[in-house]
């Protein structure tokens, strides 16, 4: 049985694992290098198909596909499935970057470009490297990780600034209020850092906002 805790298993006498890591990078670059303008969409794997969040994600992804954007997701269920489904059914490029997990994550059937990753950090590089924008739906720890990593990379100028849109004012306003009342008030961030992301609700407005800064 394959070991679950991969980072604990990374030892000097197992340096061959570096070649697996390099292999995943190479596969990712070869598969996605000519993807064109793309939007990475994130959110919970636990969102059910009958929810408003799932349906809104489908609509947003379909609008992007109809406007010549590829849609990239983590390849699993919930929000990821909804985004891949919306893009595929609209005739667009629907990319699923699946991660091997001991529970929960199974690839959805709607991506027309699929990849499998063992290492989270390589997968996240692919999300960011080939994204023209980030669209973040409601989600849990994984979604927060992806959101704050990209904000940190933009803040520290490790990557160029591109649109980061949090979808759902009812879900995200509390986080924004906390960021203002704690991080900003205690000078842990600068006032201009609040401009690194926007909170929106309307699918058409989201697509228009990204179209203004991304050449398709």
Euclidean distance between CA atoms 114 and 101, whole angstroms: 16
Q: Of 37, 149, 127, which Cα lies nearest the Cα of 80?
A: 127
Share above pLDDT 70 across residues of the chain, in percent, rounded to a whole number: 91
Domains and CATH numbers, the chain: 35-211 (3.40.50.450)
> Taking the chain, what is the end-to-end CA distance rounded to the nearest angstrom?
45
CA distances 179 to 43, 77, 137, 152, 187, Å, are 20, 29, 18, 14, 10
As a whole number, mean pLDDT of residues 158-173 equals: 97
Residue 62 pLDDT: 98
Q: Quick: pLDDT tens for 17-76.
A: 888 899 999 999 999 999 999 999 999 999 999 999 999 999 999 999 999 999 999 999
pLDDT at 2 over 60: no
Q: Are 214 and 132 in contact (CB under 8 A)?
A: yes
Nearest to 39 by CA among 211, 200, 181, 182: 211
pLDDT beyond 60 at 6: no
In terms of DSSP bridges, do strands 94-99 and 70-73 run parallel, antiparallel, or are they unpaired? parallel
Determine which helix (DSSP H) or strand (DSSP E) holds 164, and give its type and residue range: strand 164-167
pLDDT(90) > 80: yes
């Amino acid at each position: 049985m394959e070991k679950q805790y991969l980072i604990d298993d990374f030892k000097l006498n197992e340096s061959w694992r570096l070649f697996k890591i390099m292999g995943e990078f190479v596969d990712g670059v070869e598969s996605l290098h000519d993807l064109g303008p793309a939007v990475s969409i994130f959110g919970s794997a636990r969102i059910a198909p009958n929810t408003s969040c799932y349906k809104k994600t489908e609509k947003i992804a379909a609008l992007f596909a109809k406007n010549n954007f590829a849609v990239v997701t983590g390849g699993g269920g919930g929000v990821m499935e909804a985004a891949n489904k919306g893009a595929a059914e609209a005739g667009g490029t629907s990319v699923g970057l699946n991660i091997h997990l001991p529970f929960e994550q199974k690839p959805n059937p709607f991506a027309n470009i699929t990849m499998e990753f063992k290492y989270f950090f390589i997968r996240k590089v692919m999300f960011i490297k080939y994204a023209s924008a980030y669209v973040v739906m409601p989600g849990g720890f994984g979604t927060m990780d992806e959101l704050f990593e990209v904000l940190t990379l933009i803040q520290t100028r490790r990557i160029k600034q591109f649109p980061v849109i949090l979808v759902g004012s009812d879900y995200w306003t509390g986080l924004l209020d906390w960021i203002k009342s704690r991080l900003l008030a205690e000078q842990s961030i600068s006032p201009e850092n609040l401009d690194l992301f926007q909170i929106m609700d309307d699918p058409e407005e989201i697509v228009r906002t990204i179209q203004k800064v991304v050449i398709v």
